[in-house]
Amino acid sequence: MKKLFLISMIIVQSCIVFAQNCCVNDSIVREIQFPLTEQDTKTVFYYFNNEWIAEATPDMVETDSISKMEVKDDEYGNRAVFITVSPERLARLKSEVREANKDIWVNYDPICEFPGGNGKLKEWLDANIQIPEGYKGQERVIVQFYVQPDGSITDAKLFIPSKNDAANAEALRLVNAMPKFRVKFFTPKRTRLRYNLPIRFKEPGAIFIRGDESK
């Protein structure tokens, strides 16, 4: 029986190491490096007795307090570690988390970004925009769309349109042709994100002057 217990503890410790090394949950430290990489978007969430507790991680619980640990997807499709402890230890863990973070404000809003960052987004727009034939002047068309949890673009519409129908059609075509964005979540529940994107139009050879866009 003692030998079996020791083997079980080794397995539990291995699971903790796997979870911590495979994906780092940086919900406390917000030093996110931009642009986001694919690895940045892969966050492991920890559940204690089937409950996600913000800022709670396995290393806050003594190994001998853990009776079970399982790595699987949660109800939202996130990779997660489910840890079982006694009700008493769960209550103490919640108290410890509250005490440790009582003077800290943490922003849990998700973030999204074009692959490679804003610089790459500008490069992509410049390379793919097709100025309508005969277009004159310069202006900024703003398109509003949603970034879904998987990064796909949906529901694009004109937020600030052009008086030129061809420019409006091109702005919508551009947005719908964009590759998937990279999305970083800090809580298990995934939601779509609203994004407003300005797209600049100018006639061939014109110099775009900031603040001189057509309204």
Both 20 and 81 in one domain: the answer is yes
Return d(Cα 141, Cα 158) in angstroms, integer: 8
**Residue that is last in its domain, among 70, 90, 107:** 107
Q: Which residues on neighbouring strands pair with residue 157, listed in sequence order? A: 144
Both 117 and 196 in one domain: the answer is yes
**Residue that is last in its domain, among 92, 107, 122:** 107
Both 9 and 77 in one domain: the answer is yes
**Residue that is last in its domain, among 87, 107, 127:** 107
User: How many separate domains does the chain show?
Assistant: 2
Using an 8 Å Cβ cutoff, are 97 and 162 in contact? Answer: no
Residue-level pLDDT at 205 = 59
Q: Is residue 210 part of a domain?
A: no
What are the structure tokens assigned to 121, written together? 């987004």
Both 70 and 125 in one domain: the answer is no
pTM for the predicted model, two decimal places: 0.70
For the chain, 215 residues long, give each residue's pLDDT as a single digit of tens: 444 333 344 334 434 333 333 333 333 333 444 566 767 677 889 999 999 999 999 999 999 999 999 999 999 989 899 999 999 999 999 999 999 988 888 888 898 999 999 999 999 999 999 999 999 989 999 999 999 999 999 999 999 999 999 999 999 999 999 999 999 999 999 999 999 999 999 987 555 545 444 44
Peptide bond into 35 cis (omega under 30): yes
Q: Is residue 212 part of a domain?
A: no
